[in-house]
Each structure stands twice: as C-alpha cells, then as structure tokens.
Chain A
C-alpha cells in the first residue's frame, strides 16, 4: 500500500510569518490540466493593510543596511533557491504544464537573476549617482535612495516573473507587498519559504495571493504606499484605474509591461523607477 502524502497548506507571507488570510477565504488552484493542486489563501484588503504595515516597519532597517549587506542577503536567497531547485522545477511543471527542460531553464534564470541583482546593490549608486560641478564653492552630490514601500502586481511567470519584479526593488532598499500571479500563486508562497530562511528580515517582502482586482485597488489608494508596479495587470482599464488611484499620494507608478521577455537581461529601469534622487549641498570653506 502506497504512503499517503502530507500536503502543504499554502498561506500568505506577511512580516516574516505565514498567516492564513484573516478573511478565512481560500480559492482553488488547478494544474495545467485542470486538476486540483491546492487551495490558496484568498487575501483580503485587511491582509493587504497588514502587509503594508509590515513593509513599512521593515523599511527603516532594510534601507539602512549597507548595500554590501543587502547584496549578501539577496545572494543568499539565490543560494537557498539553488538548494531547493528540484521542488521549484516540480511546482512549475505541475502548475504550468511545461517540460522538465523548460522548468529547469526558468529556475536557472530565476537564480541567475537574483545573483545579477545581488551584484547591483553596491554599484547602482555609482552608476546613477552624480557629483555635480555647481558654479560655486559647494560640495554637491546626488545619490539614489529607495522610494519606500512598493506594491507590486506580479506577472504570470510564477517564479522568474516574480523574482524579476521583486529582486530589483529589495536590492535597492525598498520593501515590497507583492500580489502573486492569480493563476499561479503557489510558487510565490514557496519562494516565501526560501526568503524566510535566507536572512531576509521579515516584512521586506510580503506575498499576497488572491484576486488582483480585489486587492490591488486597496494598495493603489493606500496613502502609506510610495510606489506601485503594475507589471502584471492584464486588464488595461484596471491598470488605468489603479494608476489614477495612485495619484492620491503621488505614488511612483510603473505601467504594465505586456510581452516582456523575462529571459532577457533586464537593464536598470526596474531599479531606477523606484529610486529617489537626493542631492546634498554643503559649502566648501575653511
């Protein structure tokens, strides 16, 4: 007689913990062939609110760490992901119905992307910062700083897509509330387990699963969210509404990016869109 599996309960990832949705709701997640994979937590607006509180609480500490330290932590996520690659390949195959080779290539790319971004932590300031030669006796330096708490609607790619939108935000010191792909939420929670065991402080990344149309408007109108990345919003009208709601506190907005090739090298834009430039002046004298 074969052994009965112990199935995993997929919950949310908020503030370093894995709570169920406070609403008590869940929704059915099927595999590519329409068979039940699991019940995912269906996050509510209150879960989103809690996630923002957790992200805000984590922001000071995370953005205050040295760039070198953030690099180490993000690199550590890559290491732990590498160690659990079999699990992720299996999950990707199950949820997306893709070949083993394809699943492997996505996991490879996700790990490599984390490593790529890890290296940016202590270089982005050098690339986008400036010493400014003002016409006067002043020291004048512009440096990038993270915008703060960023809400993200992740694209469909359950692992590579998610990593590609989250890594560029946290590497620069932002903290994140991400709504996982509605169709493929399970990998996001498993990735949460990786982050939770990678020295990433609780609250730096918070993962919600559920309905984008239900949760995203609460994040877009939230006055303590500094930016919103609409990459995964597929409905153009919803994207426009979310952008309009974001105007309430002038969130930095990244518009949807349909057709993104997630395997291509990303460039700087995902980092710079959620960076502020601070310019400091000081007189030069004796």
Chain B
C-alpha cells in the first residue's frame, strides 16, 4: 500500500459570489457611471476577465468629494458618536454575515489563498469595524480630542484590498469624517461589495464614496482642494509624490509605505517556530506584504541548520488554486508585479547570490512565482535593499547582536522587524535598538485592530490601528495642545 498522502482538490465554492459584468462608481449612496475609460479586472490565477470597472474622472472625483462634504456637513458631523457607532457595528455584523462571500471574492480578484482571506483578512476586517465603532462615542477620552477633520481622501493598495479599506474607513467614520476611497485598479471588487454593504446598513448617502481607477484618479483625490485629510497605503515612491503634492496645504497626511524588514534569528531561537515565522514572514500573502520579513538575518552558528529546516519546510508549501482550501501560496496579483519579481530575482542571481526555489508545479495559466530563497546575500545586493513585494527571501548572516542591529537598521525603511531568541533580556534590548514601527519578537506578521501599525523613516508616518490610529482622523491643535 502506497504511503503517499495526496490531498484531493478541496475547492471553496465560487457560487456564493455574484460578479456582475460591469461596475460603476459608488457616489452619494448610488452606483453611477464613470466618466473615464472603463478597465478590466482579472483573476490573477487564471487571467480570466472578471468584470469591467468604471474609471473615475476628475469630475467624478469632484462629485464624490462634494457628496462627502455634503454628508459631512449635513449628517455625519452632526450625528452623535453613539449613533455613528451603531452604523459601524451594523457594518461589522454584515461583514461577518457575508464573510464567506467576501473571502471568496477577495481570493478571486486578488489571488490570495482562500485560507488567508477566510481566516485572516475578513475576520480582521470585521474586528476593525467593531473596534472603531466602540471609539465613536468615547473620543473625548482618546487624548486626541473629538473634532473630526472633514472629508478624507483614501487610496489603498491591492495586497489586502478589503483589510486596507477597513483600516482606512473604520477610524475615519468613527471620528466623524466622511470618505472618498479608491481601491487599487487590480482589486476593486471587494470595495464595491463593501459599497453594497453600506447600502444594506442604511449608511447615510455620501458618508462612504468608492471611486475606482488608477493613478490619475488617486492624484485627483489627493490634490482635491476640499479634501482635508489624505491617507495612503502603497509604494514609497507614490508616498513621496503625495507628500510633495500636499506641501503648503492644510491637508493632514498619513502614509503607510514600503519596507525591507529584517527577521533576525539568534542561535538560541526556538528553531521550529522561527522557521514558521520566517515562512509566514515572507510567503504569507505571496510576500505581497509591506511589513514582510524579506531579509532573513541568521546568526552564523545556526545558519546551516536554519537553511536546512527552512528549505525542508518550503518544500511542503502548497502553491496553486487560491480557492483550494489547502493552498498556502496563491497567485501573484498581476502580470506587472510578476515581471518585477522576476526582474529582481534575476538581478539577485546576476549579483552572485545563490537561488533556490521550492520544488512545486506551477499552473500554466495565471501569474505564479515559486517560493524562493537567496543565500549568500550581502547588504550591497539590490535584493537586500529593494522591496521585491513577492515570495522571495534574501538571507544574510551575522555574528553578534550589534552586527544584527546594524544590518537591520541599515536601510531607508523602518516598518517592521522580527527577533527570535529565547533570551528575554536580549529580546528587549533588540526591540529597543531596532528602528522600526513594529517589532515582532518570537512571532511575525501579527495584526490586531487594537495594535498600532506604521513605520519609521521612509516607511511613512502616522499609525493605523489602536488608540493611536484615531490621531490621523481628529483635529489636534498644533498650538494649544490636544483637548
């Protein structure tokens, strides 16, 4: 009798979602046609066209901002916090009720495994709305006062489409702002389903406006004179352009940008869990994570052992159909991103690093990249400095804690870092010395609505999540202190 335990396909049913042939913009509580050139969103796992989506023109963005302003002035800013909270609780509940539908749609549009959209993204989305709902009537205790800013313009990326929407919309609404949000052009569908959820929740028209489009639409939002607050998650390059665009205005800005996080493994680390942390750090969500642990810094004395364990573990990763419940690594989100990952990987090889990819069969259609690790990487290599934003790990070694800190901090980024050691005092010392907004010690890639997230240096500014996340959406008086 053969001992080979082949897992049969276990696909999540796609029947739960109803994708329309075309989608409009969600402005003032209604779906309307866009003035731009409609674009197509595809399933990155199959290259199948899923739907045609409207592109918001400057005039559409203006209409959305005006709707948001009206809703802000007439309804939302006048409503008591307790009443705003009830809407947010409603939304949280509907997200839970329609959780499976949202998860399937997210996996289809984004390419991420259903396991992740079902067990990570959607539950945290609901939790985020639930958490901030509770703040809406307690803002005076937050330390940031309770005065909203007005209209928030929000632009989010494609790696966690619905989760990033929640991170933006939940605190904005809780604080009494109204929003115009643009989802990424490759992943608009869950944001549009969220618009339906706003309708189901009877959220007053104009409080949430969703406009789809690409860079031009985003620029129109950021530069609109009646937008009081800009919140962006995405590349450092675009973040800098936004910072330039708002210079000299009164707009308040928060930016969540790129990273090149060091995941530091000491020789006394709990090795099996460290290997899980390394895998989770770089292969979670196909490595499309701004805080991914993309630089493994491993102490020389355990480097070989860690690499052996890591490669053995990587060989068990199941890459393929995002809707299969057993898939660990899904599809790369777009052809463009795949090209970028390939290019940087080729540069890694050309620069002399040693490439190893997990032995896995990749589907013939769609955008795929096997989990890959580069060893023999030095700080000077481009793959050790640039954000690849894909399932590619660069491995460097160190000898002493000081060397680990130096290498970890030797980057313009400062979003996150990981430390693995069984020695308590060393954890605290490393956590103190690492210049990063989130330090995961003996864990990695953990997120929670109560926990502030955001970067140092070129990883951006401002925090999302927790009490700190409120500051971005409240008027803090620069001259007289906070309320």
A→B interface (CB under 8 Å)? 127-128, 130, 132-136, 138, 140, 142, 147, 226, 236-237, 239-241, 243-244, 246-250, 252-255, 257, 259-261, 264-269, 276-283
A130 touching B467 by the CB < 8 A rule?
yes
B248 touching A134 by the CB < 8 A rule?
no
Q: With the chains together, A283 CA to B456 CA distance in Å? A: 23
Q: Which of A135, A279, A283 is within 8 Å of B438, CB to CB?
A: A279
B236 touching A142 by the CB < 8 A rule?
no
B247 touching A243 by the CB < 8 A rule?
yes
B243 touching A250 by the CB < 8 A rule?
yes
Which residues of B are found within 8 Å of A279, using beta-carbon distances? 437-439, 451-453, 466
Please report which residues of chain B, range 243-269, place their CB below 8 angstroms from some CB of chain A when the two chains form the complex: 243-244, 247-248, 255, 257
Which residues of B are found within 8 Å of A255, using beta-carbon distances? 478
Q: Which of B236, B241, B412, B431 is within 8 Å of A280, CB to CB?
A: B431
Please report which residues of chain B, range 118-166, place their CB below 8 angstroms from some CB of chain A when the two chains form the complex: 127, 143
B457 touching A249 by the CB < 8 A rule?
yes
Residue-wise, chain B 428-472 has the 8 Å CB interface mask toward A (1 for contact) of 000100001111111100101011111011101101001110000
A252 touching B461 by the CB < 8 A rule?
yes
- Tell me, yes or no, whether B80 is within 8 Å of chain A by CB: no
- Tell me, yes or no, whether B357 is within 8 Å of chain A by CB: no
- Tell me, yes or no, whether B214 is within 8 Å of chain A by CB: no
B248 touching A277 by the CB < 8 A rule?
no
A243 touching B248 by the CB < 8 A rule?
yes
Which residue of chain A has the shortest Cβ distance to B424 in the bound complex? A282
Which residues of B are found within 8 Å of A259, using beta-carbon distances? 479
- Tell me, yes or no, whether B57 is within 8 Å of chain A by CB: no
A266 touching B481 by the CB < 8 A rule?
yes
Q: In angstroms, how far is the closest chain A Cβ from the Cβ of B455? A: 8
Q: Which of B244, B248, B257, B477 is within 8 Å of A267, CB to CB?
A: B477
Q: In angstroms, how far is the closest chain B Cβ from the Cβ of A93? A: 27
B412 touching A132 by the CB < 8 A rule?
no
Contact A282 B437, CB 8 Å, known A140-B451, A250-B239, A250-B255 = no
- Tell me, yes or no, whether B46 is within 8 Å of chain A by CB: no
Which residues of A are found within 8 Å of B239, using beta-carbon distances? 250
Q: With the chains together, A182 CA to B482 CA distance in Å? A: 30
A282 touching B481 by the CB < 8 A rule?
no
Q: With the chains together, A140 CA to B239 CA distance in Å? A: 28
Which residue of chain B has the shortest Cβ distance to A270 in the bound complex? B478
Which residue of chain A has the shortest Cβ distance to B483 in the bound complex? A267
Which residue of chain B has the shortest Cβ distance to A267 in the bound complex? B481
With A279-B451, A281-B443 already in contact, 19 other A-B pairs whose C-beta atoms are closer than 8 Å:
A132-B466, A135-B127, A138-B446, A142-B466, A226-B457, A236-B248, A240-B248, A241-B247, A250-B255, A250-B460, A264-B480, A267-B480, A267-B482, A269-B476, A269-B477, A278-B431, A279-B453, A281-B451, A283-B442
Which residues of A are found within 8 Å of B453, using beta-carbon distances? 279
- Tell me, yes or no, whether B78 is within 8 Å of chain A by CB: no
**Residue of B240, B248, B452, B457 most packed against chain A (CB within 10 A):** B248
Q: With the chains together, A239 CA to B477 CA distance in Å? A: 19
Which residues of A are found within 8 Å of B460, using beta-carbon distances? 250
B247 touching A278 by the CB < 8 A rule?
no
- Is the interface on chain B under 10, 10 to 19, 20 to 34, or 35 or more residues? 35 or more
Q: With the chains together, A210 CA to B451 CA distance in Å? A: 44
Q: In angstroms, how far is the closest chain B Cβ from the Cβ of A56? A: 13
B451 touching A282 by the CB < 8 A rule?
no
16 contacts between A and B (CB under 8 A): A130-B467, A132-B450, A132-B451, A147-B456, A243-B247, A244-B243, A244-B248, A247-B240, A250-B461, A255-B478, A265-B481, A267-B480, A268-B481, A269-B477, A280-B441, A281-B439
Which residues of A are found within 8 Å of B412, using beta-carbon distances? 249
Which residues of B are found within 8 Å of A268, using beta-carbon distances? 481-482
A135 touching B443 by the CB < 8 A rule?
no
A247 touching B243 by the CB < 8 A rule?
yes
Which residues of A are found within 8 Å of B452, using beta-carbon distances? 130, 132, 142, 277, 279
A250 touching B451 by the CB < 8 A rule?
no
A276 touching B439 by the CB < 8 A rule?
no
- Tell me, yes or no, whether B427 is within 8 Å of chain A by CB: yes
Which residue of chain A has the shortest Cβ distance to B430 in the bound complex? A280
Which residues of A are found within 8 Å of B247, using beta-carbon distances? 240-241, 243-244, 246-247
Contact A250 B457, CB 8 Å, known A138-B443, A267-B480 = yes
Which residues of B are found within 8 Å of A134, using beta-carbon distances? 446, 448, 450-451
B461 touching A277 by the CB < 8 A rule?
no
A130 touching B466 by the CB < 8 A rule?
yes
Which residue of chain B has the shortest Cβ distance to A252 in the bound complex? B461
Q: With the chains together, A202 CA to B218 CA distance in Å? A: 46
Q: With the chains together, A130 CA to B247 CA distance in Å? A: 31
Which residues of A are found within 8 Å of B431, using beta-carbon distances? 278, 280
Which residue of chain B has the shortest Cβ distance to A226 in the bound complex? B457
Q: In angstroms, how far is the closest chain B Cβ from the Cβ of A109? A: 15
Q: With the chains together, A127 CA to B453 CA distance in Å? A: 18
